[in-house]
Amino acid sequence: MAQPVPEPSVLRARPGSRTETPLCQLAQGVSALSGWRRYGLSFLLGVCATATLPPVDLAPLLLVAFPGLLWLDEGSAGPWASFRLGYTFGLGFFVSGLYWIAGALLVDIASFWWLMPFAVLGLPAAFALYSGLALCATKLATNRLRLPGPARVFAFAVAWTIAEWVRGHAFTGLPWNLIGYAWSGGFPGATAVLQSVAWIGIYGLSFLTVLAASLPALLGSPSLAPMSLVRRLAPALGAGLLIVVPGVFGAIRLQTTPTVDRGIWLRIVQPSTPQTMKWDPRAAERNFRLLLDLSASPASQPIAAVIWPEAAIPFLLERNPPLRRQIGSIASERGYVITGAVRANPPPDPVKQVWNSLEVVNKDGEIVARYDKAHLVPFGEYVPLRRTLPLKKITPGSLDFSAGPGPRTLALKGLPRFAAAICYEVIFPGAVVDEEDRPQWILNVTNDAWYGRTSGPYQHFAIARTRAVEEGLPLIRVANNGVSGVVDPVGRVLGRIALDTVGYADLPLPAALGPTPYARAGDWLLLGLLLLGALPAVFRLR
């Protein structure tokens, strides 16, 4: 009777054989773990993956997290075991990566204490399904097609990237904590690698990153030990090339793309108003006066626009002409005040509908342009299935916010045309700019005071910075409290206001680049990249 042949992904060297290298021993030891040790290590590896993202920025931990996960999966008996393992990894990844969301509940903990378990564990538990399915799909492909080690790694990178893309689009989407953002922070050389998003977008960079981080898992395969030194080191060399080659081209792009000053100066104002005071009627006048005082400070350059953060005004501007005149008084003769504000349906009708908006006020106190936020936060700005779920939204007020029509370009005399993105709208790749009416810069206003001194505000700034590189457009970011700053079209931060800082900064607006390949083609380039990544599995089908 024929003997069963072991699956290629779970071959083992005999203990004490000459093919058993230290990495083989480590891989075998990891794959042999069971019970709480197995799932505990998987959870910790997920936490390691989070530590590669801002503000920790320990990108080398990618070489711990993903090889460790694949070695653990060597010991999985089947797809269901792989799903459980990937799910535990994802739980560690999202609990440590999204804990800051619970900070929003602390603002009114008396009303929302019961939501705390859902914020801390419920959302990560839901998102962990994606990483579980990615590892499960990898195991299914490996078993059905009898994939060798390298093909298994490619299949895993493809499955992980598809899971990230679906997470970024399904159920309104939340493309936060994408692995590609490991290159959006302060790790040395990260900005050079980040340039690749101008071609393949952040999802494409996630694919390259997961592939590069996973290839070293092959160094634990006993089948490599008897081979020549070059062949034994091939996985490490391949991983290095996947990062070094884009990094070299990115460095050349940075070196050959100077920041061009358009001669237009903007004043960004960060009042750092605590969220507990933001909508307090007793503090409204004080908050408004602080904005006026910061904005009216003397400037060494003519200011084309003063920019205030999301929901900076606690009043309805279109219903308060005296307030608009006060705001207009701080604008230069041909300049503007651009502010986040809550907007209601026009007077004299009573307030029946509200929008989270960006409104532009000129010197005469007139509202000359506006943008309404299109991508609203579920349970934060509206309650899904309002008639079914008897819940109130986290933001103040009894009315749900209405959604705007989507990306649009605002045109103001004396200012280059710009795209507006309010709060987390900026985290959605390919959905910030109207490419049919291409702007010259992106304005992101936000209020990260909800989240205090957590990783959330730092990650939000890094994500916004990535949109600038993807689109080839400078980005101006103004936060109530968070990280405000100016980013040029290749991702260089030209100036910033740190978290918890009350102040303003006068900074020049950089010039835009031409449309990037990603701006022209979007995620179609990602599809081509994933098809290339699937070729090793396709060859096995043949």
3-state secondary structure of 510: strand
Q: Looking up tokens 């959006």, which residue turns up?
A: 184
End-to-end CA gap in the chain:
28
Q: Give how far Cα 364 sits from Cα of 107, 147, 346, 347, Å.
A: 37, 69, 19, 20
Report the 10 Å Cβ neighbour count for 165.
Answer: 23
- Decide: 313 and 341 in contact? Cβ < 8 Å: yes
3-state secondary structure of 19: coil
Rounded distance between C-alpha atoms, residue 103 and residue 85, angstroms: 29
442 sits in which H/E element: strand 441-446
- Decide: 456 and 100 in contact? Cβ < 8 Å: yes
Q: What is the DSSP string of 240-280?
A: HHHHHHHHHHHHHHHHH-PPPEEEEEEEEEE----HHHHT-
The catalytic residues are 310, 373, 423
- Decide: 510 and 471 in contact? Cβ < 8 Å: no
- Decide: 201 and 522 in contact? Cβ < 8 Å: yes
Burial class (CB in 10 A: 0-12, 13-18, 19+), 223: middle
